[in-house]
Structure 1
Amino acid sequence: MDYVGIGKRIRAQRYKLDLSQEELAEMAGISLVHMSHIETANTKLSLPVLVDLACALGVRTDDLIFDKDTLGKDELLEEITLELDGCSKEQLLTLRQILSSSKEAIQKYLER
């Protein structure tokens, strides 16, 4: 398991939510020292702690374990589907148009 990568993804999500290490540690029920060691990969975190951190950060455990840049096509499609879940019909229609336009622009760019 890539503990360095997990620590970096936890830190990035924590920054995104504007949380201090202390705040996240409290939310996850761990000590500040343990939180620091997790982010710097100086310790291996247990599955229960990983789950608690994911819940506190509002993400899935997979989001902390796996680097999204290395996901395969099926995993990327699943990620996109999860992002679209809960959208209204109007939002989906708009996103479909944006996706279609973006795909066309990318194709033209790659053909240069």
Structure 2
Amino acid sequence: MELDYRAIGKRIKIERIKADLTQEKLAEMSGVSPAHMSNIETGTTRVSLTTMVAIANALGVTLDDLICDNLIHARVQFEQDIADTLSDCDTYEIRMIADMAQALKDTLRKDAHLRSQL
């Protein structure tokens, strides 16, 4: 199995921005160079487990939060992503998103037999 380092980097960047940290500050807190942190966030380099742990600790998140796109069992992280997405929505936006989510779910279940054909 090949890891999706771009997805990992994207999640690190999102968490860094949410923590109001610069790339340079996160690099310093994680014990890596700013250039290496930039490469990690863009997914152009493989990141070691030791560095991933250091980044997660610096950001105050779990490794699951950073690598969930590579995990089969990551329901909790994706549920949190949905909650984060909805957190700043007004009532109208939430209602529309709920309607779209229900329609998408209905379609996915109706066409579930197509999964086995992929």
Listed one character per residue, the Cα deviations across residues 24-67 of structure 1 (whole Å, up to 9, x for unaligned) are 00000000000000001110000000000000000000100013
Q: CA RMSD in A?
A: 3.0
Q: Distance in 2 between matches of 1:32 and 1:76?
A: 31
Runs (5+) with no aligned partner, structure 1: 81-105
Q: Distance in 1 between matches of 2:42 and 2:75?
A: 27
Aligned partner of 1:6 in structure 2 is 8
Structure-to-structure mapping, 1:9-24, within 5 angstroms: 9-24=11-26
Q: Does 1:25 align with 2:12?
A: no
Aligned partner of 2:56 in structure 1 is 54
Identity rate, percent: 51
Runs (5+) with no aligned partner, structure 2: 81-97, 103-118
Length, aligned pairs only: 83
Q: Which runs of 4+ in 1 moved over 3 A?
A: none
TM-score by length of 2: 0.59
